[in-house]
C-alpha cells in the first residue's frame, strides 16, 4: 500500500466529507508530482519538509492561482503532515510548517445579493411556471411549482438557509392575520429561532399550505411524498434562473444574502435588529452586508467619466 493510499484511508477515519477527501488526495498527488520534477526523483512521504511546503506555496502563487486555491492546497499539506507526523516524518513537522508557511490573505468575499431587476425576472419565471403547469392540468408539477415559490419567498422574506427551509415541519409555521413566523429548530450552530415573516411570504406560504393540507409532517415534500431535499431546491432554482436568463448567476442562498443586505441598507432598521433577524452571532458578520458589491463598484467606476 502506498503512502497516498494510507493517507486516503486515514482521511476517511477522520470523518471528512467525500468531497474534501477527494480534493486533499488530488492536492497531495499534484504536490508529489511537483516535488518529483523538482528533485528529479519520486517524492517520499518521509522527506516532507516545511521548506518544501513554502516553496510549493510560492510556486502556486507564481502560477497565478487564486489565494483560496493556494490556501486549500497548503491546508491539504498541513493535514498530511498531521497524518505523517511520527509515522513518516519527525514529530515537529506540523510546528515547522505552521511557523514557516503562513496563510495567504484572501479578499473578503462579497455577499451575492440579487439585484431588483434580476429579482423581478426570477419571480416572473416562477409565476410563469405555475401558470403553465396549471393550464396543462399537471397537478403534481403544479403542486411542486407552488411549493417552490413558497420556498423562494421564505428564503427571500425570512432569510432562511436552504437546509433550514427543507427541515421545517407543518407545525413550525405560525400564520396569523397580521403577523406570522416560522420556527427554525436547528439553525446554524444548532440555534433555535422564531423568525418573523413579511406579509408576502405569509401569503405564499398560506397558498402552499392550502394545497398541501394541514396534515403533520414535512412542510415541503417531494413528488414521492418524502421530505424535500436541499438539492431539489437548488436544481429547481437553477432551472428558474436559466429561464429568467440568469443561468449561473445566483444560488438559493443568494436569497438570504438579499434579505440581509436589504435590512442593512434600510436606514429605518437599526443594526441590532438586522443582526437579530439575520441570526448572526457577531455584528461584524452583519456589517459585511454593507460592503459594496461587484455591481456597486462597477457602477461607481462607470460614473468616473460621466
pLDDT digits (tens, 9 = 90+) for 32-43: 999 999 888 888
Quickly state the pLDDT bin for 109 (edges 50, 70, 90).
low
Sorted by where each begins, the domain ranges of the chain are 3-100, 116-295
pLDDT digits (tens, 9 = 90+) for 83-108: 888 776 666 777 788 777 888 887 66
Report which DSSP code applies to 189. G
- CA distances to 35, 44, 91, 187, 198 from 161, rounded to whole Å, are 42, 44, 42, 8, 17
Q: Is the pLDDT of residue 110 over 70?
A: no
Q: Is the pTM of this model over 0.95?
A: no
The average confidence (pLDDT) of the chain is 91
CATH for the 116-295 domain, from 3.40.640.10, 3.20.20.60, 3.40.50.300, 1.10.443.10: 1.10.443.10
CATH number of 3-100: 1.10.150.130
Does residue 146 contact residue 130 with C-beta atoms inside 8 Å?
Answer: yes
Amino acid at each position: 500500500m502506498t503512502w497516498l493510499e494510507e493517507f486516503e484511508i486515514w482521511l476517511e477515519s477522520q470523518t471528512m466529507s467525500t468531497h474534501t477527501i477527494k480534493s486533499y488526495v488530488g492536492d497531495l498527488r499534484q504536490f508529489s508530482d511537483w516535488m518529483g520534477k523538482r528533485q528529479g526523483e519520486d517524492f517520499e512521504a518521509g522527506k516532507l519538509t516545511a521548506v518544501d511546503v513554502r516553496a510549493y506555496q510560492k510556486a502556486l502563487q507564481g502560477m497565478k492561482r487564486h489565494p483560496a486555491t493556494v490556501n486549500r492546497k497548503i491546508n491539504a499539506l498541513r493535514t498530511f503532515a498531521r497524518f505523517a507526523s511520527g509515522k513518516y516524518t519527525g514529530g515537529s513537522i506540523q510546528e515547522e510548517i505552521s511557523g514557516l508557511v503562513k496563510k495567504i490573505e484572501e479578499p473578503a468575499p462579497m455577499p451575492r445579493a440579487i439585484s431588483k431587476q434580476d429579482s423581478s425576472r426570477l419571480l416572473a419565471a416562477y409565476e410563469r411556471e405555475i401558470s403553465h403547469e396549471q393550464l396543462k392540468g399537471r397537478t403534481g408539477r403544479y403542486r411542486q411549482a407552488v411549493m417552490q415559490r413558497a420556498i423562494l419567498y421564505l428564503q427571500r422574506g425570512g432569510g432562511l438557509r436552504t437546509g433550514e427551509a427543507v427541515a421545517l415541519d407543518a407545525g413550525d409555521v405560525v400564520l396569523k392575520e397580521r403577523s406570522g413566523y416560522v420556527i427554525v429548530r436547528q439553525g446554524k450552530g444548532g440555534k433555535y429561532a422564531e423568525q418573523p415573516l413579511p406579509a408576502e411570504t405569509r401569503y405564499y406560504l398560506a397558498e402552499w399550505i392550502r394545497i398541501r393540507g394541514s396534515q403533520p409532517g414535512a412542510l415541503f415534500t417531494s413528488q414521492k411524498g418524502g421530505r424535500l431535499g436541499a438539492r431539489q431546491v437548488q436544481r429547481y432554482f437553477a432551472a428558474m434562473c436559466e429561464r429568467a436568463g440568469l443561468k449561473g448567476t445566483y444560488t438559493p442562498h443568494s436569497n438570504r444574502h438579499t434579505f440581509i443586505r436589504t435590512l442593512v441598507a434600510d436606514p429605518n432598521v437599526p443594526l441590532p435588529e438586522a443582526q437579530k433577524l439575520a441570526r448572526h452571532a457577531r455584528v461584524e458578520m452583519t456589517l459585511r452586508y454593507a460592503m459594496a458589491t461587484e455591481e456597486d463598484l462597477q457602477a461607481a467606476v462607470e460614473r468616473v467619466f460621466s
